[in-house]
Amino acid sequence: MNMQYIEGGICAPKGFQAAGVHCGIRKNKTKKDLALIVSKVPASAAGVYTQNKVQGAPITVTKANLTAQNGYARAIICNSGNANTCNPNGIEIAQKTCALVGETLSLPAESVLVASTGVIGMELSLEPFQTGIPAVVNALSDSGSEDAAHAIMTTDTVKKETAVSFVLDGKTCHIGAIAKGSGMIHPNMATLLCFITTDVAIGPALLQQALKEAVDESLNQVSIDGDTSTNDMALVMANGMAENKEITEAGSAYSQFVQALTAVCVELAKKIAADGEGATKLLCCKVSGAPDVKTARVVAKSVISSSLFKAAMFGADANWGRILCAMGYADAEYDISKTSVALRSPAGRIEVCENAAALPFSEEKAALVLAEKEIHIEINLHQGAASASAWGCDLTYDYVKINGDYRS
């Protein structure tokens, strides 16, 4: 597929505007804390949510609104600084937030989706929204993606934004996305939020399927610290303004769309992992030669989730025994005895293990390979043709510092 990475983030697709402002939920006035994304026309919408039993009030309200509007939406509103989770009046606050956006834009409240990220169990007042929502609506623009990306950041050190263009039956289509992940100024959890816009024409049901396929291969393969947030959410809005023939079945156009959507999500997954709390290195683990994709995914994710392996990567220690150990406790059925492992970075590649046993290698070369900022762990199970990747980061002093600090 012919696909290009382009500028513009969530405003790259036709008919989307965005903005980010400071509304007062966070004390630091230089930090934006309210983001808004609006489609000029009703958009098919879909979402995937945290599997945690504790679910933030915004998740409940977003699901209900999507259902009420039969899978269509016009806007996404998101605050940082407060997760609006474990609050007795959380649902009411989230509903009123949607209502305020709806009033200001002359839209039904139910056409607005809502997300929050921040401290759990801290009361959230409607007040900052009352002044903030008119302000963020006023700030809406075709170049507002960057401000929105900043407004959803917490302990993130860089904004996460990407966009692609590609052609479907002669029409240029776009997908844009912003995301946040990896912790909070008032640290509570590595909440992952991802908002995707596209001008592709596709109905809500197929959009939901496409989102799940893309997220399973990308955002769900990221781990910073093994803690599944109460507020994780990925939302997509597709407004059809690219004027491609509407995708109505899982054929060639659908496949191309999923491929582009997956590329966008993988790009964000890598950005999130690289900016994990305290991280100094991006870890990319690719498992190939697997009997099926599920096995490859589970094994890859187990490796990049291992605290011991993550600490070894921080120390640039080619301690491949920890890779085998993490593979061994992954919840998957396969024969581990044929495993080969190599470590690769811009500084070179070293094979460290074959048939699950040691290969001789130069510790000097290994230290050079592992001194780089992006480390690839290449695992071959030698028992099939399936493969999958997972992304993580090293475990550092700063992770402990960020999360050990007082909330205030």
Residue with tokens 């989770």: 85
Kindly state whether residue 295 participates in binding a copy of itself, applying the rule CB under 8 A. Answer: no
> Residues 6 or more apart from 78 whose CB is under 8 A from it?
34, 35, 36, 114, 115, 116, 117, 151, 152, 193, 195
End-to-end CA distance of the chain: 49
> d(Cα 340, Cα 142) in Å, to the nearest integer?
49
Kindly state whether residue 225 participates in binding a copy of itself, applying the rule CB under 8 A. Answer: yes
In whole angstroms, the minimum distance from the beta carbon of 272 to a copy of itself comes to: 16
Kindly state whether residue 371 participates in binding a copy of itself, applying the rule CB under 8 A. Answer: no
Among 65, 198, 218, 396, indicate the residue that binds a copy of itself (CB under 8 A).
Answer: 396
> d(Cα 124, Cα 389) in Å, to the nearest integer?
38
Phi and psi, residue 329, nearest 5°:
-100, 5
Among 6, 86, 99, 167, indicate the residue that binds a copy of itself (CB under 8 A).
Answer: 86
8: left (phi over 0), alpha (psi -120 to 50) or beta: left
Kindly state whether residue 29 participates in binding a copy of itself, applying the rule CB under 8 A. Answer: no
Kindly state whether residue 328 participates in binding a copy of itself, applying the rule CB under 8 A. Answer: yes
> d(Cα 9, Cα 271) in Å, to the nearest integer?
14
Toward a copy of itself, which CB reaches closer, 252 or 337?
A: 337
How many residues bind to a copy of itself according to rule CB under 8 A?
A: 65
Q: What angle is formed at CA 351 by the lines to CA 349 and CA 356, rounded to 5 degrees?
A: 150
In whole angstroms, the minimum distance from the beta carbon of 88 to a copy of itself comes to: 5
Strand pairing report for 282-290 and 374-380:
parallel
106: left (phi over 0), alpha (psi -120 to 50) or beta: left
Contact track, a copy of itself, 108-127, x by CB under 8 A: -----------xxxxx----
Contact track, a copy of itself, 166-195, x by CB under 8 A: ---------------------xxxx-----
Task: Choose one: 22-30, 65-73, 79-87, 265-273; the region binding a copy of itself (CB under 8 A).
Answer: 79-87
8 A C-beta contact, residue 37 and residue 145: no
In whole angstroms, the minimum distance from the beta carbon of 228 to a copy of itself comes to: 4
Toward a copy of itself, which CB reaches closer, 52 or 259?
A: 52
> Residues 6 or more apart from 198 whose CB is under 8 A from it?
13, 173, 174, 175, 176, 236, 237, 238, 239, 242, 261
Among candidates 202, 323, 185, 180, which has minimal Cα distance to 260?
A: 202
8 A C-beta contact, residue 327 and residue 305: no
Phi and psi, residue 234, nearest 5°:
-125, 125
In whole angstroms, the minimum distance from the beta carbon of 157 to a copy of itself comes to: 18
E strand spans, 24-138: 34-49, 72-82, 112-119
Toward a copy of itself, which CB reaches closer, 52 or 209?
A: 52
Task: Choose one: 7-15, 137-145, 289-297, 308-316; the region binding a copy of itself (CB under 8 A).
Answer: 308-316
Task: Choose one: 166-174, 233-241, 264-272, 397-405; the region binding a copy of itself (CB under 8 A).
Answer: 397-405
Catalytic residues: 191
Q: What angle is formed at CA 381 by the lines to CA 353 and CA 221, rounded to 5 degrees?
A: 105
> d(Cα 281, Cα 265) in Å, to the nearest integer?
20
Among 197, 239, 306, 389, indicate the residue that binds a copy of itself (CB under 8 A).
Answer: 306
Toward a copy of itself, which CB reaches closer, 39 or 302?
A: 302
Kindly state whether residue 380 participates in binding a copy of itself, applying the rule CB under 8 A. Answer: no
Task: Choose one: 53-61, 67-75, 238-246, 373-381; the region binding a copy of itself (CB under 8 A).
Answer: 53-61
Kindly state whether residue 92 participates in binding a copy of itself, applying the rule CB under 8 A. Answer: no
Toward a copy of itself, which CB reaches closer, 110 or 225?
A: 225
Task: Choose one: 139-147, 156-164, 234-242, 301-309; the region binding a copy of itself (CB under 8 A).
Answer: 301-309
One-letter amino acid of 378: E
Q: Which residues bind a copy of itself (CB under 8 A)?
A: 51-55, 83, 85-88, 119-123, 187-190, 225-230, 305-308, 311-312, 314-317, 319-322, 324-330, 336, 353, 356-358, 363, 395-397, 399-408
